[in-house]
């Protein structure tokens, strides 16, 4: 029997999100039914609600930074039981058999992962809907365990903002002695600073806005460089092993390339699309520097991140909102008026 739940949905690119009832699928043998307690608000939610990427199927219920408690499990589920604190991120399934999936890199599934919202279930063809809702039904393979002691609300953004920055830090083996720079201090950037410091790296923040030094140092930066200041940029020439660029819009990468060390990499995690102006390849070729990209993380890596956060007491800096405040939160997010992630308390939907 399907489950009728209440959520908030966008019905067109120009409409505000409004209350919306819809059916979740009947739980399968390998499913976990989760009562949603908190859901982070991501720029991707807004982009999808407003069809900025041109692929939204309406009505759409956003939300892929989900934390809740298990309310029931299918007969084949052994890893979870009723009452467990759990989390769900950007994916709820994948093909499970391609080379990427077999390596635990489900985010790079050759058949494309099934997204938590605005996707299509591989088994029944039903649309997927996200965490702006009372409950969600997810295969146990895509459910994550939340370590004891973490604040559940502040854990929610780890499922996207956290793993998006954790994955490149792990892939490029950031640790003690690493020289790391982060471009942009927002939802992703503040997590990159926290992770970089906890991993033992020497951490620098690049920002275009003066006045962020105190907050950046609180979050883990050892220094702050104003990227619009030529003298400050020249002073860090050739220094960084890895630059994590979290900026979510078109911007010029060329000023940052000289600050990379030989063999250094600038990895894009915030922007998806064509680069403007053109990237000068000369320093890439002459000094073996790289520009790369990275997308969230697979299920094993996401669990690794959560476990690391449990050991080190790392969560996101959040502002809590009620579900009814989501449209105002979207407008504030566009104006960068949040430090550093909105999280929805779903209590008002749970009744």
pLDDT tens profile 184-208: 999 999 999 999 999 999 999 999 9
Other residues' Cβ atoms within 10 Å of the Cβ of residue 127: 15
pLDDT tens profile 98-130: 999 999 999 999 999 999 999 999 999 999 999
CA 179 to chain centre: 23
Candidates 42, 70, 295; CA nearest to 167 is 295
351: pLDDT strictly greater than 80? no
Structurally, the chain folds into a number of domains equal to: 2
Pair (17, 145) in one structural domain: yes
Long-range contacts of 123-130 (CB under 8 A, 24+ apart): 123/28, 124/25, 126/25, 127/57, 128/92, 129/7, 129/9, 129/22, 129/24, 129/60, 129/61, 130/39, 130/45, 130/61, 130/62, 130/63, 130/64, 130/66
Pair (34, 151) in one structural domain: yes
Assigned token pair, 262: 């030989």
Last residue of a domain, one of 271, 293, 315: 293
Last residue of a domain, one of 269, 293, 317: 293
Question: What mean pLDDT do residues 147-166 have?
Answer: 97
CA dihedral 93, 96, 101, 106 (to 10 degrees): 0
Question: What mean pLDDT do residues 313-339 have?
Answer: 96
pLDDT tens profile 249-283: 899 999 999 999 999 999 999 998 898 889 999 99
Pair (197, 85) in one structural domain: no
Pair (73, 218) in one structural domain: no
Candidates 292, 246, 302; CA nearest to 269 is 246
Question: What mean pLDDT do residues 277-299 have?
Answer: 95
CA 5 to chain centre: 25
């Amino acid at each position: 029997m399907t489950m009728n739940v209440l959520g908030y949905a966008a019905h067109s690119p120009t409409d505000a999100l409004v209350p919306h009832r819809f059916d979740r699928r009947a739980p399968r043998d390998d499913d976990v039914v989760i009562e949603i307690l908190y859901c982070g608000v991501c720029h991707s939610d807004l982009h999808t609600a407003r069809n900025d990427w041109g692929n939204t199927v309406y009505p759409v219920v956003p939300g892929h930074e989900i934390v809740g408690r298990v309310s029931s499990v299918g007969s084949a589920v052994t890893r979870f039981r009723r009452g467990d604190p759990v989390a769900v991120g950007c994916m709820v399934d994948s093909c499970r058999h391609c080379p990427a999936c077999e390596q635990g890199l489900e985010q790079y599934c050759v058949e494309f992962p099934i997204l938590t919202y605005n996707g299509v279930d591989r088994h029944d063809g039903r649309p997927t809907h996200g965490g702006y809702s009372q409950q969600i039904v997810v295969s146990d393979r895509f459910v994550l365990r939340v370590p004891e002691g973490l604040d559940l609300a502040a854990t929610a953004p780890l499922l996207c903002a956290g793993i998006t920055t954790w994955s490149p830090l792990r892939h490029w083996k950031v640790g003690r002695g690493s020289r790391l720079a982060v471009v942009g201090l927002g939802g992703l950037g503040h997590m990159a600073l926290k992770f970089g410091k906890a991993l033992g790296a020497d951490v620098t923040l690049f920002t275009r806005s003066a006045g962020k030094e105190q907050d950046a140092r609180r979050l883990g930066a050892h220094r702050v460089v104003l990227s619009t200041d030529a003298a400050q940029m020249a002073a860090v020439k050739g220094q960084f092993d890895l630059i994590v660029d979290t900026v979510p819009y078109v911007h010029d990468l060329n000023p940052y390339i000289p600050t990379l060390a030989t063999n250094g990499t600038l990895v894009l995690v915030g922007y998806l699309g064509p680069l403007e102006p053109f990237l000068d390849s000369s320093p890439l070729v002459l000094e073996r520097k790289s520009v790369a990209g990275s997308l969230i993380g697979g299920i094993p890596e996401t669990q690794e991140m959560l476990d690391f956060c449990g050991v080190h007491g790392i969560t996101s800096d959040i502002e809590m909102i009620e579900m009814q405040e989501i449209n105002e939160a979207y407008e504030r997010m566009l104006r960068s008026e949040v430090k550093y992630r909105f999280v929805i308390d779903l209590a008002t939907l749970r009744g």
